[in-house]
């Protein structure tokens, strides 16, 4: 993914509200299943890491991306943006 594509996806994610929260239990199989289902339907999601979670948001983002076969668009503070194109993509990325 190019920087231009990341910037485009990040701008689309500005209006999104986080649909999942990572708390003190960190990453669980249920959380991964829910995030995987959400990405399959929406392509682009935002996740919030709560203050009571002591893991690094960047590490959490990398683990979630690996387990859901998605890409980390950006990690800003305690917000994670993930993207995975659907079989019939709705979001059209800028050319490489």
Please give the C-alpha separations between residue 55 and each of 12, 62, 84, 88, in angstroms, as whole numbers. 26, 12, 23, 34
Identify the CATH homologous superfamily for domain 3-83. YhbY-like (3.30.110.60)
Q: Which residues pair with 83 in a beta bridge?
A: 44, 71
Q: How far apart are CA 94 and CA 78, in angstroms?
A: 27
How would you write the pLDDT of the chain (96 residues) with one tens digit per residue?
A: 888 988 999 998 998 999 999 988 888 899 999 999 999 999 999 999 999 888 899 999 999 999 999 999 999 999 999 999 988 878 888 876
Local structure of residue 21 (DSSP, 8 states) = E
pTM for the model: 0.89
């Amino acid at each position: 993914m190019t920087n231009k594509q990341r910037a485009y996806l990040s701008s689309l994610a500005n209006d999104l509200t986080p649909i999942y929260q990572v708390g003190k239990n960190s990453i669980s199989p249920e959380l991964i299943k829910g995030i995987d289902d959400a990405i399959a339907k929406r392509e682009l999601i935002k996740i919030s890491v709560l203050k009571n979670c002591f893991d690094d948001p960047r590490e959490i983002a990398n683990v979630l991306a690996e387990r859901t076969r998605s890409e980390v668009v950006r990690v800003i503070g305690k917000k994670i943006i993930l993207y995975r194109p659907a079989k019939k993509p709705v979001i059209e990325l800028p050319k490489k």
